[in-house]
Structure 1
Amino acid sequence: MIAEAVPYEDFWFHDGPWTEEDYLRIPPGGPKIELVDGRLVVSPAPRQAHQRLMRRLANLLEAQAPDDLAVEVELNVRIGPEKILIPDVVATYEQGDDVLVHHPAEILLVVEVLSPSNKGQDWVYKNHLYSVARIPWYLLVEVDENDERPTLILQRLGSGHYNEVARATCGETLQLPDPFGEVDPADLLKRRP
């Protein structure tokens, strides 16, 4: 379903809870906006270091992915009724330029790059929402205060919640879920792999 967008300055004037239909009318190109239980969660564009890490990780994953698995940054993912989140990186079997909102049953992995402003939200709240949606794998990218040494934390869904299965810092390798291979967090610091 593609809803007709309203002018950017007009969409903020909204009465009552937001529906998915209302949400999908928001024009593209503004801040990151997610829908949670009738509320909009608005985030400013992330810092350049955050964007660079998510883009480089998406590139590394895409290079290892088979043709039937798309790896993209910031896709709409329907987590439940009136809940659409936008993970930093998504590996999905649901492909096509016409897919506006992706279904969690078609998603293998979601990735969130932790920032000082979203660390608690991604560790606790999004962790819970992704587990309720039954997304099999959740990868967190945690960086030190200088954005210099990323740590990758891989979690697998089991018994209704995520359990950490592997962690790697720069110079170590992290075995990703099939069909992906290994990644060294130091590779995220390189301009080209």
Structure 2
Amino acid sequence: MMTIMATTSEDLLHENELRPLTVDDLALLPNDGKRYELVDGKLIVSAAPFNIHQLVSDNVVALLRHAGRQHSQYRAFSAVGLSPNQHNQYIPDVTLMKRSDYTHKYSSGPPALVVEVTSDSTSLYDRNLKKDRYLKFGVPAYWIIDPDPDLPVLTVYELIADDYKQTAHVVGDEVFETAQPFPIRVVPAELTAW
């Protein structure tokens, strides 16, 4: 294995031209506010999110923690690393995982739910590549939230017969309710509220 001395994302991008990167390579980067993910050894760099994105992510974490308060084996997190192998690491905006799957670095098992809060720059990535990767990872439920303050949207995919099926698409004040992995009630308009 080749050792690198990357100290910036630019160094790592240059290194990525020479070989596939690993999760261990990501650990060499400074905490500079950017989000670094790996897809088949290729580095994906995202800028820091806008305020509305962070507000919605925080509201989803709070909603899941409140809904799951009777189910102590689950916990919701923001920006937790998921690594099915050394050449892939995804960082969903929100992850709901079992206590038994939590590690101090990154999780190598599929969580119960992942949520992506989409933006103009990440919409295609969230709706296509990430959806495909979460499916292959075995994530049973995937939510995509469009945080438009005037008309927020929640789209829900569930793993059914080895494929994701869209099971809900709710807008604004419409209600989505699920019993998996525990009872949860979501109103998109409430996710964008202060």
TM-score class, shorter: 0.7 to 0.9
Compute the displacement of 1:160 (Å). 2.6
Distance change in 2, residues 1:132/1:6 (3 Å): same
5 Å-filtered alignment, 1:104-183, equals: 104-105=109-110, 107-144=111-148, 147-176=149-178, 177-183=180-186
Taking the aligned partners of 2:169 and 2:9, their CA distance within structure 1 comes to 43
Are 1:17 and 2:15 an aligned pair?
A: no
Cα 1:59–1:187, aligned 2, differ >3 Å: closer, same or farther? same
Assess if the C-alpha contact under 8 Å between 2:61 and 2:94 holds in 1.
yes
Take 2:87 and 2:49, find their aligned partners in 1: how far apart are those partners?
A: 24
Structure 1 portions without partners, runs of 5+: none
Deviation at 1:111, TM superposition (A): 0.3
1: distance between equivalents of 2:169 and 2:145? 10
Secondary structure of residue in 2 paired with 1:101: coil
Q: CA deviation at 1:180?
A: 3.3
Gaps of 5+ in 2: none
Matches within 5 A, 1:62-77: 62-65=65-68, 66-77=71-82
CA distance in structure 1 between the partners assigned to 2:143 and 2:44 by the alignment: 21
- Tell whether 2:127 aligns with 1:91: no
Write out the 4+ residue segments of structure 1 that deviate beyond 6 Å after TM superposition. Answer: none
Normalised TM-score (structure 1)? 0.85
Give the structure-2-normalised TM-score: 0.84
Q: For the structure 1 residues 85 and 62, does the alpha-carbon distance in structure 2 shift closer, same or farther, using more than 3 Å as the test? A: same
Map Cα deviations across residues 122-170 of structure 1 (whole Å, 9 max, x no partner): 11111100000010000110244xx322111111012332101112122
Contact 2:116 2:145 in 1 (8 A): yes
Identity across matched positions, percent? 25
Q: What's the counterpart of residue 84 of structure 2?
A: 79
Q: Counterpart amino acid of 2:190?
A: D
Letter in 1 for 2:117: V
User: Superposition RMSD on alpha carbons, in Å?
Assistant: 2.3
Give the Cα–Cα distance (whole angstroms) in 1 for the partners of residues 102 and 108 of structure 2. 15
Which shows bigger deviation, 163-172 or 41-50?
163-172
Distance (whole Å) between structure 1 residues aligned to residue 134 and residue 102 of structure 2 = 24
Q: Which moved more, 1:179-188 or 1:125-134?
A: 179-188
Deviation (angstroms), 1:36: 1.4
| SS, match of residue 157 in structure 1 | strand
The structure where helix makes up a greater share of residues is 2
The alpha carbon displacement at 1:29 in A equals: 3.7
- Structure 1 CA distance for aligned equivalents of residues 75 and 105 of structure 2: 14
> Residue type matched to 2:51 in 1?
Q
